[in-house]
Amino acid sequence: MRDPRQVAVVGVTGYSGFELARILLRHPAIQSSVYYLRETHGAQCLGQLFPHLRGSADAPLRPLSLDAITSSAAGTAFLATPHEASAELAPQLLAAGLRVVDLSGAFRFRSADTFTSWYQLPAPDAATLSQAAYGIPELYAEQIKSAPLVANPGCYATSVILALRPLAAFLWIAPGSSVVCDCKSGASGAGKELRRDLQFVELDENFKAYNLFSHRHTPEILEHTGIPESQLTFSTHLLPLARGILSTIYVTLDQPRTADSIEALYRSFYAGRRMIRLWRAGSLPELQHVAHTNFCDIGFALDPSGRRLILVSCLDNLGKGAAGQAVQNFNHMLGLEEHTALQ
Ligand SMILES: NC(=O)c1ccc[n+]([C@@H]2O[C@H](COP(=O)([O-])OP(=O)(O)OC[C@H]3O[C@@H](n4cnc5c(N)ncnc54)[C@H](OP(=O)(O)O)[C@@H]3O)[C@@H](O)[C@H]2O)c1
């Protein structure tokens, strides 16, 4: 008999997997969490591998094997793994009756073709894709509650979609106008693999754009804002910081609006959604306000014409952009308060 409160985690040695472990270890509804590693380095429990968790983490480590997970009583699996690994593991875990929260991009798209053309990787299993809900709970809570598989969104995509969705839903964006999403991320967004461009000497005191017109989060933004590709410009930059995403988004409104009406639109759209913190007109969120949290903070400024709007959306790429949102999704899957174990 599977118990959804017994969880299996793959990828704890990665940046988002470690963040996930820190949250799961303080989650009051979790009965047990077991961490499956490709290489345990002789460690028996998390605290032995991560000195930061000593005293709070005797959660067991196990060598990664599908059989070990499926023969346990775990009812939920978290995959904080690369796209290819998730694409392979998720269908087998689902077939064994687990529910899966996948942090990779493998199951984020309605069509497998979107994944293959943007990721240049083999198509994910179509039957698995059809079981996936897109994991932004502020938008898709109903689907997430019952989905066998939740595809946790990309970090940049989360910050942009949450900022634009109220305007897009109420058709407040001028038809045919350009929407520019100018986004910056800390270096943990790229994961822990060694890369020359992510070394300290390359990053420190530097700031640069990358993957222009080719960033993999583009199709998520298109699908979940409904903004046509010809109108959307999405640029990504690397900040000399460990964590955080700040998106500055330039929009032309359909007609002159007041700051009060914009704020009211966002407040009613996100009413009761405590992970979205809205800022008063003209006061803007900063990365330091969201670091190590699961909040997405959204602020804006409006020019005197009432038509040129600049939104600023901030989150922690490992929090609301990855592990925090994964737990928020898990909370919905179990019918818990969505902010359980999150802050
Ligand atoms: N970093 C972010 O801000 C962020 C945000 C949103 C989503 N994501 C997504 O979350 C996933 C993890 O990202 P990350 O940045 O945490 O990556 P990461 O730091 O590179 O860690 C990857 C993890 O996956 C494990 N792994 C690698 N290949 C594997 C395989 N074939 N089978 C099983 N485990 C494998 C690694 O274990 P080893 O120690 O054995 O290598 C490591 O624990 C990715 O799909 C990424 O796109 C990341």
Cβ of 189 below 6 Å from ligand 1: yes
Distance CA 261, CA 283 (A): 16
What pLDDT shows up at residue 209? 98
pLDDT at 183: 98
Residue minimizing CA distance to atom 45 of ligand 1: 104
Rounded Cα–Cα distance for residues 69 and 252 (Å): 50
Active site residue 155: yes
Provide the pairing of β-strand 132-134 with 149-151.
Answer: parallel
Catalytic residue among 155, 183, 296, 314: 155
| Residue 303, ligand 1, Cβ within 6 A | no
67 C-beta closer than 6 A to ligand 1: no
Predicted confidence (pLDDT) per residue in 263-308, tens digit: 999 999 999 999 999 999 889 999 999 999 999 999 999 999 999 9
Q: Residue 67 is encoded by which pair of tokens?
A: 């059989």
Predicted pLDDT of residue 194: 92
The token pair that represents 13 in the structure block: 């040695």
User: CA 146, CA 162: separation in Å to the nearest integer?
Assistant: 22
Q: 6, 74 in Cβ contact below 8 A? A: yes
For the chain, residues with pLDDT lower than 70 are: 57
Per DSSP, helices labelled H in the chain are 15-24, 46-49, 66-70, 83-95, 112-119, 126-129, 137-146, 155-169, 200-203, 218-225, 259-269, 287-290, 324-333
pTM: 0.97
What's the pLDDT at 41? Answer: 87
CA 190 to ligand 1 center in whole angstroms: 9
Phi-psi region of 323 (alpha: psi -120 to 50; beta: other; left: phi over 0): alpha
Structure tokens at 66: 């599908």
Q: Minimal CA–CA distance to 249: which of 157, 134, 139?
A: 157
Nearest atom, ligand 1, residue 18 CA? 16
Q: What pLDDT was estimated at residue 191?
A: 96
Distance CA 50, CA 33 (A): 16
> Within 10 Å of residue 54's Cβ, how many Cβ atoms?
12
DSSP state of 47: H
Distance 153 CA to ligand 1 centre (A): 14
Tell me whether residue 122 is exposed, middle or buried, using C-beta atoms within 10 angstroms of its C-beta: 0 to 12, 13 to 18, 19 or more: middle
pLDDT at 109: 97
Mutate to test the pocket of ligand 1, among 19, 66, 101, 103 (most ligand atoms within 8 A of CB): 103
Cα first-last separation, the chain: 32
Q: Which atom of ligand 1 is nearest to the CA of 83?
A: 45
* pLDDT tens per residue, range 150-197: 999 999 999 999 999 999 999 999 999 999 999 999 999 999 999 999
